Amino acid sequence: MKQFTYVITDPVGIHARPAGLLVRTAKAYESEILFEKDGKSAGATKLMALMGLGVRCGDTVTVTVTGSDEEKASAGIEQFLKDNL
């Protein structure tokens, strides 16, 4: 299991466009990727669940990656967040 935290810097937070790109990116990996904020969690491949977390600019999310390619998936998702959110 790999885990890291990330502070969202996008002025609008996790909204439709980046959430859709995030889902597409997450589906490229075999590992399960979970986002957690304030005790609520959502799978990174579930668009509506991700948006339902209500992540805003300045919020900290915890990302947990578990599976056969967790090293690669964790690095890929972290880079995605830095580039897009």
Q: Above 90 in pLDDT, residue 58?
A: yes
CATH number at residue 42: 3.30.1340.10
Site of tokens 């805003």: 56
Closest CA to 54 of 24, 17, 13, 85: 13
The count of structural domains within the chain is 1
- Domain of residue 69 covers 2-84
- Is the per-residue pLDDT at 6 higher than 90? yes
Predicted TM-score (pTM) of the model is 0.89
Give the mean model confidence (pLDDT) for residues 41-52: 94
With vertex at residue 32, the alpha carbon angle to CA 11 and CA 9, rounded to the nearest 5 degrees, is: 10
Residues designated as active site: 15
* Helix, strand counts (H, E) of the chain: 3, 4
